[in-house]
Structure 1
Amino acid sequence: MEQKLYYQDAYMKSFTAELLKQEHDEDGRLYVVLSQTAFYPTGGGQPFDTGTLNAVKVVDVEETGGEIRHYIDAKLEESTEIEGEIDWERRFDHMQQHAGQHILSAAFEDLFGYKTVSFHLGKETLTIDLETESLSAHEAQAAEELANQIILENRPILTKWVNSEEVRRYKLRKELSVTEDIRLVIIPEFDYNGCGGTHPDSTGQVTSLKILGWERQKKMVRIEFVCGRRVLEQLGKKHTVLQELTALLNAPEQDMADAVKRMLEQRKELDKMIEESREQLLRYEAAELVDAGTGMIVSKVFQNRTIQELQKLARLLVSQAEDRVFLLAAENEDKLQFVFARGKQAEADLKRWNKEALAIIDGKGGGNDFLVQGGGRLIRGEQFLSQLLEKIR
């Protein structure tokens, strides 16, 4: 433990150490082991520290087989003395988030008995999974308010090393995962928890905590939240979005929800009008095609028409001309699609014609005795219909 300087002083930003080992791991990654280190390795839900060793970047830190491996992006020159520099902004951010997690987890358990079963600290937000299948907005607000009250009171955050006998004196929030070298993180008269992470020395340095949302995960509820500097970052992002929306909607922030509702209602009405117009155009198109067609089989090639539009048009056609068969094809980007339909009084084996059509374009499709459809490789529509009609005749 004496080699883990981050336990002696979480605020240590630089240190010196001796180089004990410089090797590649089983995956070929280069790492070094030092006589002592202030770099925190990944563990307990908290990510690793980054920084430099003799100006060489540290890209990962892991504790493996009792040694702390500092993975670096270039080989260190052989030297007995190493100058280590911690990326302090990243370290302090992790300290704020981890302490905030302790506070919020304790708040949920203190108020409602909801235990935290897992914790993840991400790049932008962090999450805890609560041992409950539901969470109300009132409960979330109450826990957030209590957490911020504890932060505002600027209570000390203490760390203490105890053995298996001494730890029995404390009412811990969760069961310990170790039986030796037990490190407690304590917020007096609020939270007692076994933890190996780094934390500030007072709750006030967490500055603030904000719950962003929650969702059900299996039989638990996952809370997403931010602490410290991340609260300001989230506020800044949301404020920028609100300013942009204010200009786009021509409405102040407090009226923005009503403006969006009106816009959505208008969109629904517009979509309805567009759909009605499309239906009307299809009816006109069907009437023109019926009038222009001669003979029992009428064919037509379209550009960029959906299969749904072709189906609607085909049904309109056979309703107006029950003694005819209609062959509709559309050249759509990278494929050719078709719909064939026959009226009730027309004679045609559409299922056989469908097989012939699919063979021409190496396609797939299906249908019934009165309407079939399919699609396949893109060829000219006129060429497709010409080959099909030749086979039919």
Structure 2
Amino acid sequence: MTYRLYLKDSYIKEFEANIVESIPYNDLYAVMLDKTAFYPEGGGQPSDRGYIDEYEVIDIIEKDGQILHLVNHEISNKKVVCRIDWNRRYDFMQQHTGQHILSCCFLELFGGNTDSFHLGMNTVSIEIDIKEFNQDDCNRVESMANEIIYNNLPISSSIVDEEELKKLPLRKQPSVKDNIRIVKIGDIDYNPCGGTHVMTTGEVGIIKILKWEKLKSSYRFQFLCGKRALMDYGNKNLVLQSLCAKLSVRDFDLEKAVERLIEENKNLNKQYSNANKALLKYEAAELYNGSDTVNNIRIIKSIYYNRKFDEIKNIASEITAYEKTIALLGVINDNAQIIFSRSNDIDMDMNMLLKSVIPMIQGKGGGSPKTALGGGSSEDLGNLIEEAYNSCLKFLSQL
């Protein structure tokens, strides 16, 4: 069984060990050491990375109580020097300790227990079994959590027996029965945990809750600690200053400036929409006036390119608002889209007409006797419109 150095000292960056066994494992090699400071994935915390001699450690997993160090090359040395990727490890230590602090605060302030914890490469999240939460609650949690950080409380861990365990005010009960390790933050939090943590709360630096979402019976919180929080602040500050420069406002006036832009944009969109409707109405009138009549009925056919289909549908609607009209319109963008429509005073089924010609463009569609829509390949759209036009002529000749 591998002796776990990280349980005693999370700050070990380099150590010597003996290879007990090395076996092939899913196109890699699984190395078992007599002792290790590498943390295997577990308890919501990802595994460490680093090197065994010059060979990169791809992953560390625990299987059947044994810690497997996965490398992509067989190691012939029996005695090896191991190095931890310290930036990754310390980041995880800050985030994991921050989670303990936050969980302690949620329990103290709202009686909320931590249901789960996930430590990712970019964000950290916990789920708390509380029913309601708002911004004022967030301010209280953050204030309490960061006060604990400022107090720079000591953090320690120890393996306790059953009798000693009964005396401790645990935040949650352990999931194992043997070798129970308790992580203690000052005198405010006692929690069973096998992960790695910093030595004082001050090393967490800062805790910032980014956002929260309501689940069925709990809330999920995303937060950042330490260097992650500092980098996040730096990135957001760059965006803030860039936006302020573009809008020529100070940072505390940015929100009002954005609200003003949103309102102006709404008004401009409304003006554009009204103007566009007027133009489409005028365009429809031109098509109507320029069309010929067959048995006192006008058939307007046209193909458009690189236009919004909604505009074409609007033109068809304007055309068929006139009496005794049929509109056969198509538009080609990436593919072809078509609309067949008629005025209320013509008894011709546009849906049947569409169904009869849509196979010409390997398409599909449908609608009502008055208006039908479809789409398909653009190659034979012209022939489709002509075929539909001839069908309309044949129908009108029978009136």
TM-score bracket for this pair, using the shorter chain length? over 0.9
Residue 79 of structure 1 deviates from its aligned partner by 1.1
CA contact (8 A) 2:28 2:73 kept: no
Matches within 5 A, 1:315-330: 315-320=317-322, 322-330=323-331
CA–CA distance in structure 2, aligned partners of residues 212 and 4 of structure 1: 34
Offset at residue 344 of structure 1 (A): 2.6
| Structure 1 spans left out of the alignment, 5+ residues | none
Once superposed, which parts of structure 1, at least 4 consecutive aligned residues long, lie more than 4 Å away?
none
1:76-124 Cα distance to aligned partner (Å, 9 max, x none): 2x11111100011111111111111111110111122111111111112
Contact 1:325 1:348 in 2 (8 A): no
Q: Is the 8 A contact 1:331 1:380 kept in 2?
A: no
| 1:107 corresponds to which of 102, 105, 108 | 105
Residues of 2 paired with 1:301 and 1:136: CA distance?
55
Distance 1:332 1:347 in 2: 31
Q: What corresponds to 1:223 in structure 2?
A: 221
Label 1:96 to 1:85 Cα distance change in 2 as closer, same or farther (>3 A).
same
**Secondary structure, counterpart of 1:31 in structure 2:** strand
Matching residue's letter, 2:148: I
8 Å contact from structure 2 (residues 303, 330) kept in 1: yes
Q: Which amino acid aligns with 1:365?
A: G
CA shift in 2, pair 1:343/1:111, >3 Å = closer
Deviations 1:108-153 (A, max 9, x none): 1112211111111111221111011221222221121111111111
Write out aligned runs for 1:156-175 (5 A).
156-175=154-173
Change in CA separation of 1:231 and 1:324 when aligned onto 2, cut-off 3 Å: closer
Corresponding residue for residue 140 of structure 1: 138
Amino acid at match of 2:57: V
2:338 alignment partner, SS class: strand
Partner of 1:233: 231
Partners of 1:274 and 1:160 lie apart in 2 by 69
Counting only pairs closer than 5 Å after superposition, residues 184-203 of structure 1 correspond to structure 2 as 184-203=182-201
1:391, distance to aligned residue in structure 2 (A): 4.9
The CA distance in 2 between the partners of 1:152 and 1:279, in whole Å, is 62
Report the count of equivalent residues. Answer: 389
* Mapped contact 1:132–1:221 kept (Cα < 8 A): yes
Q: Map residues 356-367 of structure 1 onto 2, 5 A cutoff.
A: 356-367=356-367
- The residue aligned with 2:354 is 354
Task: Give the 3-state SS of the residue equivalent to 1:44 in structure 2.
Answer: coil
Shift of 1:347: 4.1
Partner of 1:87: 85
Per-residue Cα deviation, 1:327-370 (whole angstroms, up to 9, x for no partner): 1111122x211111112333423222111121212212122222
Deviation at residue 2 of structure 1 after TM alignment:
7.0
In the TM superposition, residue 390 of structure 1 has moved relative to its aligned partner by: 4.0
SS at match of 1:128: strand
CA contact 1:105–1:115 (8 Å) conserved in 2: yes
The CA distance in 1 between the partners of 2:104 and 2:134, in whole Å, is 17
Q: 2:302 aligns with which of 300, 303, 325?
A: 300
1: CA distance between counterparts of 2:380 and 2:386? 10
Contact 2:19–2:79 (CA<8 Å) still a contact in 1?
yes
Aligned-residue Cα RMSD (Å) equals 1.5
Check the 8 A contact 2:2/2:33 in 1, yes or no.
Answer: no
The question of whether the paired residues in 2 share the 8 Å contact of 1:163 and 1:179 is answered with: no
Q: Whole-Å Cα distance in 1 between the matches of residues 132 and 28 of structure 2?
A: 44
Identity in percent: 38
Matched AA of 1:68:
I
Partner residue in 2 for 1:51: 50
2:153 is matched with: 155
Q: 1:312 aligns with which of 311, 314, 321?
A: 314
Deviation of the 1:380 alpha carbon: 4.5
Amino acid at match of 1:313: I
Q: TM-score, normalised by structure 1?
A: 0.95
Cα gap change, 1:294/1:2 in structure 2, threshold over 3 Å: closer, same or farther? closer
Asked if structure 1 preserves the Cα contact closer than 8 Å seen for 2:170 and 2:189, the reply is yes
Residues 344 and 391 from structure 1, CA distance in 2 versus in 1: closer, same or farther, beyond 3 angstroms? closer
Report the CA distance between 1:236 and its aligned residue.
0.6
Contact 1:95 1:200 in 2 (8 A): yes
- Contact 2:2/2:67 (8 A) holds in 1: no
Contact 1:362 1:376 in 2 (8 A): yes
3-state SS in 2 of match to 1:319: coil
**Equivalences for 1:1-40 in 2 at 5 Å?**
3-25=3-25, 27-40=26-39
